[in-house]
Chain A
Amino acid sequence: MRSAWTVSFPSKTKSRCENHKPMLRFRPRVLWVAISGVFLFVGSRAVSQAAFFSSELTDFTVYLSAANALTRGIDPYSIESAHGWHFISPVATAVLFAPLTEFPTVVAAAIWYLLSVGFLAGTILLTLSLFIQDRDSGILARTWVVPLLLLRS
């Protein structure tokens, strides 16, 4: 069985330019499985924090409470979320979350998480398309670093 890491040694016969490759290269399939695992973990955490635990580790319930209030004709700034927090964003934000009030909190949180992953992927791809003219450039293969850094932060 081949390991996830490939170690390539520079050959003496190769040119100097060809040798300018990383010594360690991660197999793309393993890499994307790992990234999917991280996103799945973060997603399950995000959804569970919003739906099941009364912790302060989510802002989603604040938006959802405000949207709920708005759809019922109540002032969104007068209500508190399940964690006792107030809504502090412009009204348009509450409107944005209004369609999610049709679903149970766990489903709404999952939908919002998937949308957020899509927003992140879209932002990265658009930024790369602005900066990178050469699609064969090795930097495209390293874009996985960006979401991981964001998750870390």
Chain B
Amino acid sequence: MTLSRGQWSLLIGLLITLGWWLSQKDHRFLSGHCFGFAAALKLLPIVFACYLIVKRRWVALGGFVTALIIGAIVMPGMFVKWLEIPKLYAEWFRLVVNPAFTGTHNDLYGELLNPAIKRSQQPKSVLSRA
């Protein structure tokens, strides 16, 4: 489905696997860089930052933060004004992140968060379908 629907989850998967592989090869900064770039593209891989902190892998954490800054701030800065970037993230939190955690209805509820729709992938929706 990921392939046929053109989703970008395969890139996230590759970045996480590459980060794991580089970690095994002792390339810590690059390993963290891969995890950080995955986190810039999707929120969930940010859990790897917690793992790196718990394991006290500061070099990898440096790579993580560097990639996160590049992916989340520098790259969008190529297309929009710097001051617009926080506004875009604020809007993303308002439309997607907050409702996903709090369950509040918003403009996208019927499109994304309603557990009745099959494509809704928030945990509550998946559980309700199961």
Contacts and interface: CB of A to CB of B under 8 A. Distances in A.
Chain A contact patch, size range: 35 or more
A66 B107 CA distance: 17
B108 A86 contact: yes
B5 A89 contact: no
B18 A91 contact: no
Contacts of B83: none
Contacts, number: 128
A150 interface: yes
Interface stretch (A11-19, A25-33, A45-53): A45-53
Chain A interface mostly helix, strand, loop or mixed?
A: helix
Interface stretch (B47-55, B57-65, B85-93): B85-93
Contacts of A123: 10, 13-14, 17
Interface string B1-32: 11111111011011001101100100000000
A61 B88 CA distance: 20
Interface in A81-116: 85-86, 88-96, 98, 109, 112-113, 115-116
Contacts of A92: 40-41, 71-72, 75-76
Interchain residue pairs A-B with the least CB separation, the first 8:
A60-B6, A119-B10, A119-B14, A92-B40, A95-B75, A92-B71, A91-B76, A126-B21
